[in-house]
């Protein structure tokens, strides 16, 4: 059967399934989910059930079988069932001897107490379930319809939010949901509880906004902003490819990140996200990002990313397309939605994209393509030294895509942009949804849809560790990078009196953290003043020029007074004290600034780049 992640609710209504998972929540307070897996139409001497080791979109082996316990298998069903003989083929694959039985049942517990967008989190208040971490698949039978029977107390937990489709109307005993195949099940997280839900119809489809939290926030306002996001992105692609889409927005202390799915997304933010303007913009940008993924990565996708092997790493150099491109578009779409001004958008590019990339020494030692290929051991398992060893394909990939977009706009005199390439990718998916794109095909589509030759340039940027030609490309839209230190406006007291001289903000090239009253080095940039002074990760900073320091602010204060001169630093490493001379520098910056007198053409190209559609 062809690989497909497309499902409409009407395709599931009234179906039957030979593979059904019944999930019990009686032990939710202990973070346990009881799984009863019922498999009919069994044939052959053995049945192999496998727990996935990772979740698509999150490139790390998580070994979900490690959270599984009390696994037993049965032949037959009901009172007459008998225990089956089982053995493990590997860490996640259970082999069941069927002995001619046509029905097999497997029961197990899942410990669900890790709160992220890609792991299960169950307690007395709610259940967030990631099917790759709950549901074993039956080898050879992933193309079949799968049902999930939720048996929660629907008086206590009245809301169920998931892209899985209802098989029948919910009853007081719970709810029966379904997926056309295991890939769709795996791609459809479930939130169950007493969370708030808002719904709206737009672009001919239903939308649900599910917000599980006990924090006070303006869900109506948030829903109105999500409507803008849907409008802007749907217009870009000429409509939406789903009948129903679910935004799950998790709000809890320490939350962050998101995970994309074909008909839903999970977005996690801190409770303060709706209280502060810059944090709200970050949340809206995250929502733009994960929603954009329903096109770019779930449907428009690298050939390696679907169908998936859930048992092992899947390698692709194309995460620059999947995540880099999406990272470029998230802030651009945030601007197009009207959540930021053009000036704020350029400041974001300056600070969070180009400025941030220029502070990553790893950009000079590993290419973006390699960083993508090795995501499993680099971005997703980054050591504290990671930023010296590789650039994130989100960050550098996004900056490369910025340059690509401006290059296309410039060389086509504003007639084409990357939006045209996105629409060509989208058409390509609709013609051949079962197979993803190769890198070569992707670049060919960019060239065909824009009439601009980009292959050599783009592959050069993606494959090399050279600095990117910011000024050469971005000059076309009236922007240039500036590496000089931003001079602070002189502070005055009263009408015109000068303020006292204060220490500068120093650059040491380290990241410091405060831990139980100690100042501990968390990271050291290669080649920086801290590295030259011989300071290492986990060293404890004790004094600067004989002045005892107890806070990071005090370290900056004394180092700021020694910029360009040098200070004696006293520190502690592995039980021994040491002293070293460190020479703080003034803070380097690589930021985007406006060209002073832009030409008419630069103004026109800027307009073509930053046009809004809403
Ligand atoms: Zn993403």
Average model confidence (pLDDT) across the chain? 96
Q: Is the pLDDT of residue 535 over 90?
A: yes
* pLDDT at position 222 over 70: yes
Distance 190 CA to ligand 1 centre (A): 20
Mind listing the pLDDT tens digit for each residue in 190-221? Answer: 999 999 999 999 999 999 999 999 888 899 99
Judge whether residue 589 has pLDDT over 80: no
What pLDDT band is residue 170 in, cutting at 50, 70 and 90? confident
pLDDT score recorded for residue 586? 87
pLDDT digits (tens, 9 = 90+) for 448-475: 999 999 999 999 999 999 999 999 999 9
Q: Give the pLDDT confidence of 107-136 residue by residue, as tens digits.
A: 999 999 999 999 999 999 999 999 999 999
pLDDT surpasses 80 at 36: yes
Residue 154, pLDDT score: 92
Q: Ligand 1 centre from 260 Cα, in Å? A: 7
Q: How far is the CA of 501 from the centre of ligand 1 (A)?
A: 45
**412 alpha carbon – ligand 1 mean position (Å):** 29
318-329 b/e (C-beta count within 10 Å ≥ 16 → b): bbbbbbbbbbbb
Ligand 1 center from residue 150 Cα (angstroms): 29
The rounded Å distance from CA 102 to ligand 1 centre is 42
pLDDT (0 to 100) of residue 171: 80
| Predicted pLDDT at 465 | 98
Q: What is the pLDDT of residue 181?
A: 98
pLDDT tens column, 509-523: 999 999 888 999 999
211, two tokens? 């917000």
Does the model's pTM come out above 0.85?
Answer: yes
In this predicted structure, what is the pLDDT of residue 485? Answer: 62
How many whole angstroms from 319 Cα to the centroid of ligand 1?
A: 9
Burial label for 334, CB within 10 Å (0-12, 13-18, 19+), is: buried
pLDDT recorded at residue 363: 98
What pLDDT score was predicted for residue 311?
Answer: 98
53 alpha carbon to ligand 1 midpoint, in Å?
Answer: 20
Average pLDDT over residues 368-381: 97
Residues of 293-316 as b/e, b for ≥16 C-beta within 10 angstroms? bbbbbbbbbbebbbbbebbeebeb
Walk me through the domains of the chain, giving residue ranges and CATH numbers. Answer: 9-193 (2.60.40.3650), 315-484+598-614 (1.10.390.10), 503-586 (2.30.42.10)
Edge-to-edge strands, sheet with 86-90: 86-90, 93-97, 46-50, 137-138
Q: What is the mean pLDDT of residues 91-101?
A: 98
Ligand 1 center from residue 464 Cα (angstroms): 23
pLDDT band (50, 70, 90) for residue 487: low
pLDDT in tens, 399-449: 999 999 999 999 999 999 999 999 999 999 999 999 999 999 999 999 999
pLDDT (0 to 100) of residue 126? 98
- Give the Å distance between the CA of 345 and the centre of ligand 1: 19
DSSP string, 193-218: ES-EEEEEEETTEEEEEEE--SS---
CA of 611 to the centre of ligand 1 (A): 24
Q: What is the DSSP string of 382-427?
A: --TTGGGT---TTHHHHHHHHHHHHHHHHHTTTS--HHHHHHHHHH
Q: What is the pLDDT of residue 504?
A: 81
- In this structure, the strands spanning 205-211 and 244-251 are parallel
**Alpha helices of 453-512 — where are they, by DSSP H?**
455-463, 470-474
Percent of the chain with pLDDT over 70: 99
The DSSP element (H or E) to which 439 belongs, if any, is helix 439-450
Q: Is the pLDDT of residue 570 over 90?
A: yes
| C-alpha 326 to ligand 1 mean position (Å) | 6
Give 57 Cα–ligand 1 centroid separation in angstroms.
Answer: 8
CA 243 – ligand 1 centroid, Å: 22
Ligand 1 centroid from CA 76, angstroms: 44
CA of 259 to the centre of ligand 1 (A): 7
Could you say which DSSP state residue 300 is in? Answer: B
Tell me how far the alpha carbon of residue 327 lies from the centroid of ligand 1, in angstroms. 7
CA of 323 to the centre of ligand 1 (A): 5
| 290 CA → ligand 1 middle, Å | 6
**Distance from the Cα of residue 151 to its chain's centroid:** 31
Could you give the 3-state DSSP secondary structure of residue 307? Answer: coil
Strand partners, 69: 109
Residues 387-411: pLDDT tens digits?
999 999 999 999 999 999 999 999 9
Tell how far the Cα of 286 is from the centroid of ligand 1, in angstroms.
9
CA of 468 to the centre of ligand 1 (A): 23
């Amino acid at each position: 059967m062809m690989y497909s992640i497309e499902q409409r609710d009407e395709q599931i209504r009234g179906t039957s399934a030979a593979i059904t998972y019944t999930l019990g929540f009686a032990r939710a307070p202990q973070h346990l989910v009881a799984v009863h897996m019922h498999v009919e139409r069994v044939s052959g001497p053995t049945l192999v059930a496998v727990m996935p080791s990772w979740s698509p979109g999150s490139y790390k082996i998580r070994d979900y079988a490690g959270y599984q316990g009390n696994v037993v298998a049965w032949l037959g069903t009901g009172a007459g069932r008998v225990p089956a003989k089982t053995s493990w083929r590997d860490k996640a694959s259970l082999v069941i001897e069927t002995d001619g039985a046509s029905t097999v049942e497997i029961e197990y517990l899942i410990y669900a107490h890790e709160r992220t967008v890609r792991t299960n989190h169950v307690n007395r208040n709610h259940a967030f379930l990631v099917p790759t971490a709950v549901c074993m698949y039956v080898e050879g039978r992933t193309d079949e319809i799968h049902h999930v029977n939720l048996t929660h107390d629907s008086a206590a937990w009245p809301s169920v939010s998931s892209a899985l489709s209802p098989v029948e109307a919910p009853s007081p005993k719970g709810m029966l949901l379904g997926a056309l195949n295991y890939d769709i099940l795996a791609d459809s997280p479930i939130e169950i509880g007493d969370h708030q839900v808002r719904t709206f119809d737009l672009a001919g489809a239903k939308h649900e906004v599910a917000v599980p939290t006990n924090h006070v926030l303006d869900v109506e306002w948030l829903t109105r902003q999500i409507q803008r996001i849907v409008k802007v992105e749907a217009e870009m692609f000429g409509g939406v490819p789903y009948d129903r889409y679910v935004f799950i927005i998790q709000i809890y202390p320490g939350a962050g990140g998101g995970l994309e799915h074909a008909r839903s997304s999970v977005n996690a933010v801190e409770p303060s996200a709706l209280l502060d303007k810059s944090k709200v913009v970050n949340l809206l940008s995250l929502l733009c990002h994960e929603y954009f993924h329903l096109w770019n990565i779930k449907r428009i996708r690298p050939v390696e990313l679907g169908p998936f092997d859930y048992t092992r790493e899947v390698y692709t150099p194309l995460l620059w397309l999947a995540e880099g491109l999406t990272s470029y578009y998230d802030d651009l779409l945030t601007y197009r939605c009207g959540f930021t001004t053009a000036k704020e958008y350029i400041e974001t590019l300056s600070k969070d994209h180009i400025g941030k990339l220029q502070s990553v020494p790893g950009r000079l030692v590993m290419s973006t393509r390699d960083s993508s290929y090795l995501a499993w051991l680099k971005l997703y398992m980054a050591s504290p030294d990671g930023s010296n060893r590789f650039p994130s394909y989100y960050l550098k990939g996004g900056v490369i895509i910025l340059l690509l977009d401006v290059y296309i706009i410039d060389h086509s005199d504003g007639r084409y942009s990357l939006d045209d390439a996105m629409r060509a990718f989208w058409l390509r998916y609709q013609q051949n949804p079962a197979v993803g794109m190769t890198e070569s095909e992707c670049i060919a589509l960019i060239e065909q849809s824009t009439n601009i030759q980009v292959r050599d340039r783009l592959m050069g940027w993606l494959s090399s560790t050279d600095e990117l030609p910011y000024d050469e490309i971005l000059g076309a839209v009236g922007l240039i990078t500036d590496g000089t230190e931003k001079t602070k406006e002189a502070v005055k007291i009263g009408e015109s009196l000068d303020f006292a001289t204060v220490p500068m903000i120093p650059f040491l090239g380290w990241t410091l953290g405060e831990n139980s009253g100690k100042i501990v080095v968390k990271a050291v940039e290669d080649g920086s003043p801290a590295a030259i002074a011989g300071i290492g990760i986990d060293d404890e900073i004790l004094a600067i020029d004989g002045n005892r320091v107890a806070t990071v602010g005090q370290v900056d204060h004394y180092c700021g007074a020694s910029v360009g001169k040098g200070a004696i630093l006293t520190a502690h490493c592995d039980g021994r004290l040491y002293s070293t001379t460190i020479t703080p520098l003034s803070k380097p910056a690589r930021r985007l600034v406006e060209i002073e007198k832009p030409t008419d053409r630069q103004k026109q190209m800027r307009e073509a780049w930053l046009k809004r559609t809403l």
